[in-house]
Structure 1
Amino acid sequence: MFIEGDDVRYSNNGYDDSHWQTVDLPHDWSIKAGFDQAYDGATAYLPGGVGWYRKTFDVQQSQRDKLFYLYFDGVYANSEVWVNGKKLGGRINGYSPFYIDITNALTVEKPNLIAVKVDHSRYIDSRWYTGSGIYRNVELRVTDPLNIPIWGTFVTTDKVSKDKADVSIEVEIDNRYSHIKQLELLTRITDAKGNQYRLVNKNISIDANSSDRFLQSTTIENPILWDIDSPHLYQAETELIVDGKTIASYHTRFGIRSFHFDSEHGFSLNGRSLKIKGVNLHHDAGLVGTAVPKKVWYRRLQRLKDAGVNAIRTAHNPASSEFLDLCDEMGFLVQAEIFDEWDNPKDKRLNQWERHSDDISRGYAEVFQLEAQADLKDAILRDRNHPSIIMWSIGNEIEWTYPRYKAATGYFDMNAKGNYFYNPPFISPEAINKRFHDSEEGKYVLAKTANKLSRWVKEVDTTRPVTANLILPSVSHISGYTDALDVIGYSYRRVIYDYGHRLFPGKPIMGSENVVQWHEWKAIEERDFIAGTFLWTGIDYLGEAHNAWPRKSTESGMLDTAGFTKPSYHMIKSLWSDKPHVYISSQVEEKSLYRSNADGDVVEREPGAWQQRVWIWQDVNRHWNYPNQAPVIVEVLSNCDSVELFVNKVSLGIQKQSDNPDRILKWFTPFEAGTIEAKGVGACQASDSITTSNNANQIQLSADTHGLSLVKDEIAHIEVQLLDSQSNPVRHQEHRIEFVVSSNLEIIGVDNGNSATMETYHSNQLTTHLGRALLIVRAKEGGISSVAVKAQGIQSNEITFNRQ
């Protein structure tokens, strides 16, 4: 049960909540509100507020002597947990996992009440859309007083090779009995082939009301290694056995792999050199907000993997356990980031240093001194068994918030010309050093905080390097900041890769934020010593749109908010995927970044401008509908060495990658209705085509549910594409469409991927964008169910699930 509002009576057992809303967890109440310009674009023009959740449950007589823990994977934010009218705890940080021992507040005589207050009245407390509520999974865990506590195991794999791997598992055992306990500790490790390895510790003693740690080790012959293309996972089942009876068990999933960062040779996984081809992702997923079903993440991550993406940076906070489980299962490397803010606040509306002082935008810096150690360590304790995680990031672009850094760079002086994105430092390292060390420190010193955070990480996990995303690395290298880091991440600073490598040798460097453009990857591809990159971003995300109405999201992604591909996706796929790929787009010449010259060649309007393009891809169309004989520039993205273009089967010639330094193959042609087709030449067998479409009169539906089977509580994505009478996609005109679902389905939301569409996601209708739309439904009950899509003047269509 859920209600928006703030009244302490909501925590009382006797309060009548019959008028409250029934909700399923996880739950994000902000996403269900309408977009409203009265709020701020930093949070996608959606509100925060205060809400309460209530749930009752019974404790059985047989459970009287058990321990009860309430586990939250994340509550946004400032949560308070009450049990039977008693406040037992909570968490300020909405991204942190936490758990509470609720045993002593429970009774077996009557139903027990759990009430959770969530206070997100400071709704601009992050620089992006955060969501509000119990937006991640919740569990009630019941254990024996002798147990393995939550996050109580840690599996490490040392000396890994194809022939064998040394595996160790550290197990924490907690004895809450008032007397000493004798037990046997047994762990069974199982692989996908059914092979089993037994690790046994006998005759263990745990003193009363105490805990201890035990190390178990084994060697696994011919291990099945976890890798990006074969993400094999082992299972470890640990049991506590007393007098021959198992009284507690704990399940740990892990992978066996080795990796290494090298200052000269970049990154290697399982002994082979590998470029990190990563993207940054925020924790929202468009129309579902931040309460993201696992299947929604699967669809999105699979599309990224299809483009060759092999890594994710969790920008800029711990992700959910479920998200990291998927990364383990699908073979993504992960940079797990923990903080966006340390001692000093960022401006939540405008990034960088603080320029507002209103209460609604107070964020994590307000509590960093008190909460940072617990938030950091809890995130690492929860996540350190994930084989996907290869590094911990302690901070994102922190330098903006501290004095001395900005001024010391030399980029922001009145007499400095150029842009720090594309120019090496204007002043010498010696001058940077002098500027920095001759200036006032301020209340907090960034390097000291970084060293403290790095030390805290290594108190919990020494198997992975510590990194951070540096926005002003020319200063960070000389300030002591990088001394705290094992891997140095550069944010939009590909122009100083050589500078950093030459002047500050010995530590690996990589791009931790780079725009989705060819020039960023080119700089990495040409340098063995750069480990790889994380592009900004893999998917459009809600928020960071201050004063941008009617834009609600940040449009830097390879996929839009609905998970549809954008042209930048196809550029990256042509760079990162080995599968032959061709993609056509076009634009009338007057709107294009290109023009035809007197020789009939297509050239940039501003020569060399491709090297400085940033977040947003150029304006191009995915249709072939223009006025007759209109001058058009055709752009083709491909990983083929050469591509031939045809208009109505007439060749316009072959373009070579070697003749196009921007990796965009270009042709000029007067528009002629019909079909345009691009084909790879020679062994590169890939093609793409677009046909001129007429008015839409059909609706194409496709679902991501295997065999159109949909069971209770399962979700399905239904994609809509407008078609003409010849079944050609219609992408140049839009229609208002309506979804009609059967009574046993629930509409989760609708989206068209357009950032400027300010209609609520929680509707049964919307206007298409590029002729397409997305519906997500959940099955309330089993049985036959259906989704029909209608539009005025267009033939409707229907998709049916669970047909016999």
Structure 2
Amino acid sequence: MSNRKTVSLNGDWKFIKDDVSGAEAADFDAAAWRTVKVPHDWSVEESFSNDWEGATGYLPGGIGWYRKTFQSLETAVTYLHFDGVYNHATVYLNGEKLGDHPYGYSPFYYDISDQVISGENVIAVRVDHSRYCDSRWYTGSGIYRSVELVGTSETHIPVWGTFITTPEISDKKASVNVQIEISSPKDAEVSTTIIDPDGKTVAQGSVAAEALTIQTFEVSSPRKWDVDTPNRYKAICSVFKAGKMVDEYETVFGIRSIRFDADEGFFLNGKNMKIKGVCLHHDGGCVGAAVPKDVWRRRFATLKAGGCNAIRIAHNPGSDEFLDLCDEMGLLVQDEFFDEWDHPKDKRLNQNEQHDDYISRGYTEHFQEWAEKDLKAVMRAHRNHPSIFQWSIGNEIEWTYPRNAEATGFFDMGWEGNYFWEQPPNSIEEIKRLLKELPREEYDIGETAQRLAKWTREMDTSRPVIANCILPSASYESGYADALDIIGFSYRRVIYDYGHENYPKLPLMGTENLGQWHEWKAIEERDFVSGTFLWTGIDYMGEVNGQWPKNTLDSGLLDRAGFEKGSYHMMKTLWCNEPHVHLTSQTLEKSPYVFDASTGFIGEADSNAWKTKTWIWHDVNTHWNYADGEMIAVEVYSNCPSVELFLNGESLGRKKLSDFEDHIYKWAVPYKPGKLEARADGASDLLQTAGVPASIQLCADGMHVIAQLVDAAGIPVKTEERKIFFAVEGGTLIGVDNGSPFNIQDYQSDCIITAQGRCLLIAEGACRVEASAEGLGPVFIEVG
């Protein structure tokens, strides 16, 4: 049996949001501090206030201290591992400083073998997020990812000490290359066993240990990791000394091949497929940045049901738990390292890089010293995840190097146009000339990109290096694109052909695009475009400067509570083959349409308007409650070739999808109460007129409880709101939300006013949830 012990340190931390002098001391008395569990985000516990910054969602940062006692593992070697602390963490053990860690998104650990004492020990962590506007989106504050203690023998595999690749794969066999780091390897032996998804041993071998031990295995009839069949294997590496096992290290991996072709796009396991991806920030709505695994599970399941097969973690590395879930559920992942390089971004005004006050100083001030360490730590921690298929070295970096922006010609005083829809105004020759003539700054974007790409390839060559380029016409010529294996376009789908024709050897794809039909149409029509990541999969807090009380950017396919939006159903009709029908309504006045009663035409006055739709989906309802006779714009999102609309059983006509260039079925319908139904071959959807709220309907999904107002017939009421009061017995209420981007009610509350007649509660542990409102309820549901 191995001497290795891994212990979670997530429970029973003492916490105070204050900068307390002497709190690092081993004998400091923290009894009066609050007891919390980590992952923990203190910002999300606060009330929203216009006194804070819209960039980070109108929630505060500050300084906080954490303390925890633990018993020593009584092993020769002990590691203390943090998956993420936001940010500027200073860690102490028994009063002795272990180190500082400024970046909030990279994991880190300390070898505490020389500091740990037998018996009781004390960890103290100071978290300085006083620069609370140091990002362009909500970050959270605190020890917001897991912490663990690892103890083992002097001869052992260190934290992140294995790297498994599958360089050759066929249907008959796969080669599995296992690299194992060994500390104090003298006279030791390593034995590795490969376990298949059913738990059966499929390969095994032993070799003498070296500082870097390499073993190669052959697996017959490999069961490949795929988005539809995410098969996972295990490599169990056992270290022996004098015939006794002294350490054992388990690594989960997948057998899969990835390839990007400049002409044909992306191939997974030799099969050509489009990347149907979304960008996600790391907050989980009412739980903030400390997101329970089940919250991501519910969100991922909904996205996958809508055809999504990939996630870009924007604009920072994700948690290990996040990646475990992507491995398990079959979601490809682009892991992105940085949003800032040599120069800062303006956290309040994108592209205008003007503000650099104390609260908005971000990673740039640490980049020169920490970039290589953080990048390589992320890769060592994450590189065995089969879900990761791209390493992104940066996001929209070009704005921060003025010479590159100027060379494009887009923003010259005399240029008139729209960046999203226009071809580059400057020719390639002109861009080259300007890049030569314009003054260079201390740091050059191409040289920095080359450094980052070099460090990435030092760690892993099995995955391509990519970046999200906002100014690709300059990046092709600045040396930036030369550092990449794939170039990603940010909102530049109109120059896919430009990129392919002028730089035909470099694969390209959309890495940040709009959740609109025109974006997917451009990709669908071009084999050489590998796919896209839409901005965004889910609404996220922040990036709403000066828009109080709006605290969330509502660009998602799902809202902040994980409820589906109109754009979700549009993308589902584009990304899924199964018949799908989604019915919506809106008053003609509030819709984007005009109606001609003489011809029956309903549509946009500008027939080309759909080609330039941007982030926010137009306002649609999923109810049938209006004023008698009011003209209603009815929309149906469907992939079916024809749809027939019925009102109270009477047909209002069958229409063909081919007649709608914008891919949206439309009818103009004078309102009558009753049932509105859209029917197609294999799918249908129904809206019904609801009465007054008569009850609360509860539905449980994992740790989530959805409360919906319903009338006496059980029809959802979506046009009236109530304050719902919750009581949780046997578990812990950890957050409430209604999904509205304008919701500024406290998340840490036992009541909330609904939006569209519904709200969400998230509870931890097996419990009984009671919901009531004035004149309604109570009703109950069991959770967990």
Give me the TM-score of the superposition, normalised by structure 1: 0.94
* Alignment partner, residue 7 of structure 2: none
User: How far apart, CA to CA, are the structure 2 residues paired with 1:776 and 1:203?
Assistant: 51
Q: Distance in 2 between matches of 1:624 and 1:537?
A: 28
Q: Determine which of 722, 730, 739 is the counterpart of 1:735.
A: 722
Superposition map of 1:456-535 within 5 A: 456-535=455-534
Could you tell me which residue of structure 1 aligns to residue 137 of structure 2? Answer: 128
Identify which of 752, 760, 775 aligns with 1:766. 752
* 2: CA distance, partners of 1:89 / 1:181: 30
Q: What amino acid does structure 1 have at the position aligned with 2:759?
A: A
Equivalent position SS for 2:402: coil
Contact kept, 8 Å, 2:723 with 2:754, in 1: the verdict is: yes
Q: Which runs of 5+ in 2 are unaligned?
A: 1-13
Code of the residue aligned with 2:115 in structure 1: it is: A
Residue 233, structure 1, aligned to residue 208, structure 2:
no
Aligned-pair distance for 1:8? Answer: 3.7
Deviation at residue 553 of structure 1 after TM alignment: 0.9
Q: CA deviation at 1:629?
A: 0.6
Provide the residue aligned with 1:708 in structure 2. none
Deviation at 1:413, TM superposition (A): 1.8
Partner residue of 1:30?
A: 43
Match of 2:202 in 1: 197
Letter in 2 for 1:57: F
Equivalent of residue 182 in structure 1, options 182, 187, 192: 187
Q: Identify the residue that residue 607 of structure 1 maps to in structure 2.
A: 607
Match status 1:69 vs 2:69: no
The structure 2 residue matched to 1:692, chosen from 680, 689, 694, is 689
Contact 1:83–1:115 (8 Å) recurs in 2:
yes
What do the CA deviations read for 1:431-468 (whole angstroms, capped 9, x no partner)?
A: 22222222111111000000000000001001111000
Q: Distance in 2 between matches of 1:59 and 1:221?
A: 43
Asked if the contact 1:403–1:441 (Cα under 8 Å) also holds between the matched residues in 2, the reply is: no
Q: Tell me which amino acid in the other structure corresponds to 1:796.
A: P
State how far apart, in whole Å, the 2-side matches of 1:27 and 1:137 are.
9
Say if 1:2 and 1:53, in contact at 8 Å, map to a contact too: yes
Question: What residue number does 2:27 align with?
Answer: 14
Q: 1:152 aligns with which of 137, 146, 161?
A: 161
Cα distance in 1, alignment partners of residues 692 and 452 from structure 2: 60
Deviations 1:703-762 (A, max 9, x none): 014xxxxxxxxxx100111111111111111111111121x2211010000111111100
Residue of structure 2 in register with 1:712 after alignment? none
Taking the TM superposition and a 5 Å limit, the aligned residue runs for 1:327-726 are: 327-597=326-596, 598-680=598-680, 684-705=681-702, 716-726=703-713
SS where residue 667 of structure 1 aligns? Answer: strand
For residues 352 and 73 of structure 1, the distance between their equivalents in structure 2, rounded to whole angstroms, comes to 31
Q: Match for residue 43 of structure 1?
A: 56
**C-alpha contact 1:562 1:753 (8 A) present in aligned 2:** yes
Aligned-pair Cα RMSD in Å? 1.2
**Aligned partners of 2:113 and 2:20: how far apart in 1?**
25
1:797 aligns with 2:779: yes
4+ runs deviating over 4 angstroms: none
Shift of 1:788: 1.0
Q: Which of 532-541 and 181-190 deviates more?
A: 181-190
Answer whether contact 2:195 2:203 (CA < 8 A) is retained: no
Aligned 8 A contact 1:259 1:268 in 2: yes
Distance 1:325 1:247 in 2: 27
Q: Offset of 1:801 from its aligned partner?
A: 4.6
Q: Deviations over 1:665-701 (max 9, x none)?
A: 0011111111100011xxx310000001111111110
The amino acid across from 2:726 in the alignment is: F
CA displacement, residues 165-216 of structure 1 (integer Å, 9 cap, x when unaligned): 11110011001xxxx7312210111102343134333444x6xxxxx10110
Post-superposition Cα deviations, 1:472-524, rounded to whole Å, max 9, x if no partner, equal 10111111110000001000000000011111110111000001101000000
Partners of 2:624 and 2:496 lie apart in 1 by 41
**Residue 168 (str. 1) matches residue 141 (str. 2):** no
Give, as a single letter, the amino acid of the residue that structure 1 aligns with 2:323. Answer: L
- Aligned to 2:169, the other structure's residue is in SS state coil
Q: In the alignment, which residue of structure 2 is the partner of 1:222? A: 221
Alpha carbons 2:700, 2:783 under 8 Å: kept: no
SS in 2 for 1:590: coil
CA distance in 1, matches of 2:436, 2:619: 46
Distance in 2 (alpha carbons) for counterparts of 1:59 and 1:627? 70
Q: 1:202 to 1:216 in 2, by over 3 A?
A: closer
Separation of aligned partners in 1, 2:402 and 2:208: 58
Report the CA distance between 1:776 and its aligned residue: 0.6
Contact in 1 for aligned 2:203/2:219 (Cα 8 Å): no
Identity value in percent = 52
Equivalent position of 2:9 in the other structure: none
What is the TM-score normalised by the length of structure 2? 0.97
Q: CA offsets, 1:246-295, max 9 Å, x none?
A: 11000100000011100000001111110000000000100000011111
AA at the equivalent of 1:493: R
CA–CA distance in structure 2, aligned partners of residues 766 and 551 of structure 1: 17
C-alpha contact (below 8 Å) 1:583/1:637 kept by paired residues: yes
CA distance in 2, matches of 1:334, 1:270: 16
Deviation at 1:90, TM superposition (A): 2.9
User: Is contact 1:231–1:330 with CA below 8 Å preserved after alignment?
Assistant: yes
Please say if residues 517 and 614 of structure 1, whose CA atoms lie closer than 8 Å, have aligned partners that are also in contact: yes
Could you tell me how far 1:353 is from its partner in structure 2?
A: 4.2
The 2-side partners of 1:427 and 1:80 are apart by 48
In 1, distance between residues paired with 2:755 and 2:70?
46
Query: Within 2, Cα distance between the matches of 1:263 and 1:323?
Result: 30
SS in 1 for 2:713: coil
- Which of 761, 765, 783 lines up with 1:775 in the alignment? 761
Counting matched residue pairs gives 770
Secondary structure, counterpart of 1:651 in structure 2: strand
Residues 147, 329 of structure 1: CA spacing in aligned structure 2 closer, same or farther, 3 A cutoff? Answer: same
Secondary structure at 1:633's aligned position in 2? strand
Instruction: Write the distance in 2 (CA, Å) between the matches of 1:460 and 1:55.
Output: 34
Contact 2:339/2:396, CA 8 A, preserved across alignment: yes
Secondary structure of the residue aligned to 2:235 is: strand
Which runs of no fewer than 5 residues in structure 1 stay unpaired?
A: 207-211, 706-715
